[in-house]
């Protein structure tokens, strides 16, 4: 069974000031993305959405671990 957690936007950030600057907003979004990357329960969809909010295009590729094949 796979467990996933829905991570709403801003779930990890502190309260915003009344008039945040664009840099403050971007910094808060980057903190949210970094926290989600460290959370093992974050889904790929969560990470893609948070990266998109930072203006990034997150692409994840799965590859086979060839080093284990060499050990056998």
If one counts every other C-beta atom within 10 angstroms of the C-beta of residue 50, the result is 25
If one counts every other C-beta atom within 10 angstroms of the C-beta of residue 47, the result is 17
d(CA 43, CA 6): 8
pLDDT for residue 26: 95
pLDDT for residue 2: 46
pLDDT for residue 70: 59
Average pLDDT over residues 49-72: 86
2-48: per-residue pLDDT in tens? 445 455 555 555 677 889 899 999 999 999 999 999 999 999 999 99
Q: Which residues of 19-43 are buried (b: 16+ CB within 10 A; e: fewer)?
A: eeeeeeeeebbbebbeebeeeeebb
């Amino acid at each position: 069974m796979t467990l996933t957690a829905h991570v709403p936007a801003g779930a990890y950030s502190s309260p915003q000031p009344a008039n945040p600057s664009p840099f403050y907003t971007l910094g808060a979004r980057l903190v949210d993305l970094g926290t989600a990357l460290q959370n093992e329960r974050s889904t790929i969809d969560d990470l893609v959405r948070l990266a998109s909010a930072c203006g990034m295009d997150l692409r994840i590729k799965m590859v086979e671990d060839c080093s284990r094949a060499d050990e056998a």
